[in-house]
């Protein structure tokens, strides 16, 4: 009798501990071993209830199915990452438009692009330096919905990474949504911690942020 109680208690404790612990998770092999041990050491005069045994078998089946699904998802994720890496390389030498708000000030004109959610009667583009300090602003009027671009000439004293934000309103004074964009030629592809980024105009752009790609006109 004491053996039965000891084995059952140990199995139950192990299952509970594995369930609550983030480091020790019971796999299907361990679960099956505990189930077999429970059957071997059950009291012949008080065998395991059929309903309880069926429930444990169902738990084992569910555990196996979940592990198989997890294995398949992991394989699918690796396949998708490999595909993304291969596709990213084909973008080298092409011009991309991507979500982002960073530009490089280096003494030459810089294109500030943004997508307007509707026609805008007026708007303002604010530019900030790497420290988040306001450095300049550009205003615009009567721009159509879609992609728009302004050319900014940074002061010669300003160099490095800058960010920009866009606000706009229609003729009735209602706010028009504006998403900042960056564009430029892809000069390289980087792989870091399982993520793919593109080198565009001296900055890194997440591969997933790219919204359009086009060939660069050789002429």
What residue numbers bound the domain in which 63 lies?
2-74
The residue whose two tokens read 């000439």 is 153
Q: How many CB atoms lie within 10 A of CB 107?
A: 12
Instruction: Provide DSSP, 83-113.
Output: HHHHHHHTTTTSEEEEE--EEEESSS-EEEE
Q: How many CB atoms lie within 10 A of CB 105?
A: 22
Same-domain status, 183 and 100: yes
Same-domain status, 196 and 115: yes
Q: What is the number of domains present in the chain?
A: 2
Domain closes at, from 45, 74, 103: 74
* Beta strands at 195-200 and 203-206: parallel, antiparallel or unpaired: antiparallel
Q: Rounded to an integer, what distance in angstroms lies between the CA atom of residue 48 and that of residue 65?
A: 25
Question: Looking at residues 22-41, what average pLDDT do you find?
Answer: 63
Q: What is the pLDDT of residues 109-162, one digit of tens each?
A: 999 999 999 999 999 999 999 999 999 999 999 999 999 999 999 988 898 999
Residue 183, domain member (yes or no): yes
Q: What is the pLDDT of residues 75-102, one digit of tens each?
A: 655 555 555 556 778 888 899 999 999 9
Secondary structure of residue 172 in the 3-state scheme: coil
């Amino acid at each position: 009798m004491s053996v039965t109680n000891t084995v059952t208690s140990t199995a139950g404790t192990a299952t509970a501990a594995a369930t609550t612990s983030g480091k020790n998770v019971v796999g299907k092999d361990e679960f099956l071993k505990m189930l077999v041990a429970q059957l071997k050491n059950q009291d012949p005069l008080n065998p395991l209830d059929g309903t309880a045994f069926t429930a444990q078998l169902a738990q084992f089946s569910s555990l196996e199915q979940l592990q198989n699904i997890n294995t398949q998802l992991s394989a699918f994720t690796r396949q998708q990452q490999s595909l993304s890496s291969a596709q990213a390389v084909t973008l080298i030498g092409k011009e991309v438009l991507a979500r982002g708000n960073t530009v490089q000030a280096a003494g030459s004109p810089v294109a500030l692009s943004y997508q307007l959610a509707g026609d805008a009667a007026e708007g303002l583009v604010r530019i900030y330096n790497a420290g988040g300090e306001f450095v300049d602003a550009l205003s615009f009027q009567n721009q159509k919905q879609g992609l728009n671009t302004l050319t900014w000439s940074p002061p010669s004293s300003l160099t490095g990474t800058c960010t920009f934000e866009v606000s706009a309103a229609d003729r009735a004074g209602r706010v028009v949504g504006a998403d900042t964009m960056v564009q430029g030629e892809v000069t390289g592809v980087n792989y870091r911690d399982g993520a793919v980024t593109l080198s565009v105009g001296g900055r890194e752009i997440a591969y997933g942020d790219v919204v359009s790609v086009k060939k660069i006109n050789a002429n």
